[in-house]
Chain A
């Protein structure tokens, strides 16, 4: 089945620094989603990407859908303490039938921001 490799597994940065994380897949997706999960909460959708090559921003967050459709990255600029959490990428490939809407998740990137 499809597998997602997300890196890095964890990051320790100073407030104000920029952050970059990425996901690569063994097969193509037609949608990439990026989520943030705080302790004790469900994942919150940050950015959704629908087209190969698409670059989308949401405030200090920028994400891109790779040209090959097998990768995506998320950048956070000028990090702040509330950026702390676990970031997950998720890929979706709607081939119809039983695969419709199914998300495959990366392993997550744990972000720690030191004030």
Chain B
């Protein structure tokens, strides 16, 4: 399985600011995804990070709020823009194995907005 790292692991931010979360994979992967896990809740897909093209966002998530970059097959960033306390969540990067269709998750970034 792929080894996925995320930076930062956690952060406390002021409302109105932005935070960029990095996701690094130890092998080239076609499909990378960003999920949000609100406190005590399940995981919700934010978007699919497409290499070389704009990300595909799920209903309820927009590019202005969650811009995503995917410059190559091993790296992606998610920015949480103009943060409010409602954005306090764990943000998780995941990748899909092209052969087995299994999906693996990074350790997550725990964000608290004050």
Contact = CB atoms under 8 A, between A and B. Distances in A.
Nearest to A30: B101
B45 A48 contact: no
Contacts of B43: 43, 88, 90, 103, 105
B105 A43 contact: yes
Interface in B2-45: 4, 31, 33, 41-45
A8 B35 CA distance: 23
Given A33-B102, A105-B42, A105-B44, 9 more contacts: A33-B103, A45-B1, A45-B102, A45-B103, A92-B103, A101-B31, A102-B45, A103-B94, A105-B43
Interface of B: 1, 4, 31, 33, 41-45, 48, 56, 58-59, 92, 94, 96, 100-108, 110
Interface residues of A, number: 25
Interface string A60-93: 0000000000000000000000000000101010
A92 B101 CA distance: 10
A103 B92 CA distance: 13
Contact of B103 (A41, A103, A107): A103
- The secondary-structure label for the interface of chain B is strand
Contact of B42 (A41, A42, A108): A108
Nearest to B32: A101
A108 B40 CA distance: 10
Contacts of B31: 100-101
Nearest to B100: A48
Interface in A97-115: 98, 100-103, 105-108
A43 B35 CA distance: 11
